[in-house]
Every structure is written in C-alpha cells, then in structure tokens.
Amino acid sequence: MTTTHGSAEPLSVVLVSEHASPLAALGGVDAGGQNVHVARLAAALADRGHEVTVFTRRDDAATPERVAMRPGVVVHHVPAGPSEPVPKDELLPYMPAFGRYVARVLESRPPDVMHSHFWMSGVAAVLATRTLRVPLLHTYHALGTVKRRHQRASDTSPPERIAAECEVGLACDRIIATCRDEVRELTRMHIPPERVSVVPCGVDTEQFCPAGPTAERGPARFRLLQLGRLVPRKGAAVTITALTRLPEAELVVVGGPPADRLDGDPEVRRLRDVARLAGVADRVRFTGAVSRDEVAPLLRSADVVVCPADYEPFGIVPLEAMACGRPVVASAVGGQLDTVADPECGRLVPPRDPEALARAVADFLADPALRAGCGAAGRRRVLSRYDWARVGAATEAVYARVRAARPAVTDAV
C-alpha cells in the first residue's frame, strides 16, 4: 500500500492507554477491544509517517521501560502503582502519578499532539497537558452513564467516573467518538456536539476476509455464531432462547474462559441452564477463549453471526463478521446502529427480544441468495469505511484541525 500523508509534516503523537497495553495478550477481563484499537491506530499513524509513543501502565516488574512495537511505534511503560496486574476499576488512585510521570518524560520534547483512550487515561492526560501545553484529544471507548444505566448495582466503576468523564470532555481540545450514539450520550452529559468528531473503530481487512481457512462444522444444517466476552449484557441468553424457533440451527458461542475452565464459569453454567430449560442444550456449543488467529475461521464457518447485546459502545464483532462476508443480525444499540446497514448487509432488531432475533435469522437461513448478497455488501461496506488505513487518515485529519485551531487559542491567552 502506498503511504499518503494528510499532514504537511510528520507529527510526534502520544497515545495514552492506562490499562490497555497494545502489547497485551487478549482475552483477559481487562484486555480486549481497546488494546487492539490502540495497537492498530498506532500502526496506522506510523504508516502515515508519524512517530508514535504509547504510554501504558507497567504491570510487570520484568517489563522494559521502552519496547519498540514496530517501526515508528514505541510503547513506554509507566511506573504508576504496583508493577503487577491491577483491575482497571482500581487504577484511579494512580492516575495523578501517571500524569506527572508522562509530563516529566516529555518535558524536554513535548509531542505535537496527545490522544488519551478511556476515561482514566483522560484524567492522567489532562494533568500532563496542563504542564506540557500541547493539544489533547480523547476517546472514551465506553461511557459510565451508559454502563450505570444498564448494569445498575453490578456496575463496578469507581463512583467518581461520570464526573471525571465530564471534566475530561470539557478540558480536552476535541473528543473523538466512535459512533453517533456516543455523540448523543455526550450531549446528555452537557458536552456540546461541536466539540466532538466521529471516527469509527477499524478492522483488519486482510485477516478478516471471506477467503481463508474455515472452522469445522457440526452436523446441524445451519450454524449461528456469537463471539465476545461471556457477560450477561452480551445477550447470549437471548440467542439461546431464539434457537427454540430455529430447529435446524446450531449455536456456537465463542469466548469466555479457557475451554478447560468452562465448567466452573458462573455465566457458562447460567447459559447452559437456559439452554437446558429451553430444550436446545444439544444444539449449543461453548468453545471457550480462542486465539486471535482462530476468530476469522470461526466467523467464516457461520451462516449468520449474531450480536444481540443489551448495549454496545461500538461493537467490533459485526465489522469482523462483515469483513468475512457474513450477514449479521445485531441489536439496534450503540455503534451497531452505524455499522450494520439494514437491510443491505444485515438486520437490526430490538435488544432482549428473542422472537425478533429468531425472525431475522430465519429469513437469512431460508434464503442462500440473501445470505450471500448481504455478506458481499458487508464486505464492501467495511472496505469503504472501516479499514485501518481509513481510520488512521481520519484520525490524522482531526489532529490537523485541532492543531490548526490551537495557535489562535494560545495567542489569545
């Protein structure tokens, strides 16, 4: 691919990702989409000629201070809190030390732009940029107001989260939201929409593509696949209930703990009970956690990929499925409202509605031409909007606008 530069000159870019290291192995409780996003965004910016440093918390005493992730990208480990894993919801007390450390390291050579990811990174980055006086952009990845609304008493976020998110949103130069639904939520938080640019998450269109290895199929005529963390909000119980209306289909649920620990997992036990009571236990299979390399072959093995979450801040699985040429049936929430174009490449259904989910899936299972047509349209949609080169270019354009506006602001002070 030919590298094109949207800026007049290469920039030094700092990404702050306090708990989600781009070097982390995926699959842990706090290791997932944000890790991939930060790693791929850093790489896409480096491909465009920029020099990128990612600051993330040191969670292992043996980790070097600086690690070259790839040409143009360095990961800098910040000594904030103990050098061991700490649940992300317990990291807030260490953010002042994180911010002071970043400011100290960058003091002699401030970056052209800083971009924080997740609200606690924003807390640290606001502190650092007050010293460094450089432009700050922020991506939330998820909002505390949405989490609290849906999870209520089971929300483990610190009580300071929502107030801190508002402060970060008003203190930074620009918010980069990942979908339009997030802009609406920020408006309800009294953060003006004119402070927000929308740049979606991306997908690796070479790894996730229609051609390639396909996972083995079971004896059922049709396969539905659901992929993601095994937590109640992801809606696997809705899919299992829908299966009662889809007698020729099996459901493969991908994610959760390693396969050898499935039997002890409370959510797996709950979902198995749901399947047994619904009379479909013989058609539901849990794979447990899989490696990143196994995801695309599993997606390719499906007739339909289902994404029935109660809420979804962005939702990368629909994009990965569409990139593999598979039709998607997703709940009409969050980022899925933007990514899943209904009816061209999938169907959007109300959350927590097994009957609506089953009807939409049944339409696809009954019509091979519809499945193929929507799959091909999904692939085209991903290539035209969601590949990482486009996401990198769009992010770079927001950086350029913020930097262009910045001198007028500082001159007036």
What pLDDT digit, counting tens, does each position of 42-59 carry? Answer: 999 999 999 999 999 999
The confidence band for 34, taking pLDDT boundaries of 50, 70 and 90, is confident
Q: How many CB atoms lie within 10 A of CB 195?
A: 15
d(CA 96, CA 78): 12
Tell me the pairing of strands 66-70 and 73-78: antiparallel
Q: For 7-41, give the DSSP string.
A: SSS--EEEEE-SS--TTSPTTSTT-SHHHHHHHHH
Strands (E), 17-139: 51-57, 66-70, 73-78, 113-117, 136-139
pLDDT at 292: 85
**Does 19 have pLDDT greater than 90?**
yes
Task: Kindly report, residue by residue over 176-212, the tens digit of the pLDDT.
Answer: 999 999 999 999 999 999 999 999 999 999 999 999 9
pLDDT of residue 158: 87
78-128 residue pLDDT tens: 999 999 999 988 999 999 999 999 999 999 999 999 999 999 999 999 999
pLDDT for the residue 243? 98
User: What share of the chain has pLDDT > 70, as a percent?
Assistant: 94
Please give the domain boundaries of the chain with CATH numbers for all domains.
Answer: 12-202+387-412 (3.40.50.2000), 222-385 (3.40.50.2000)
Mean per-residue pLDDT of the chain: 93
95-106 and 119-132 helices cross at what angle (nearest 10)?
40
Give the pLDDT score at 30. 42
- Residue 183's pLDDT is what? 96
- The span from the CA of 316 to the CA of 392, in Å, is 16
Q: Phi first, then psi: give them for residue 44, nearest 5 degrees.
A: -65, -40
Question: Contact at 8 Å (CB) between 7 and 396?
Answer: yes
pLDDT for residue 77 is more than 70: yes
- The pLDDT score that the predictor gives to residue 155 is 72
Q: What is the mean pLDDT of residues 207-226?
A: 96
d(CA 37, CA 114): 16
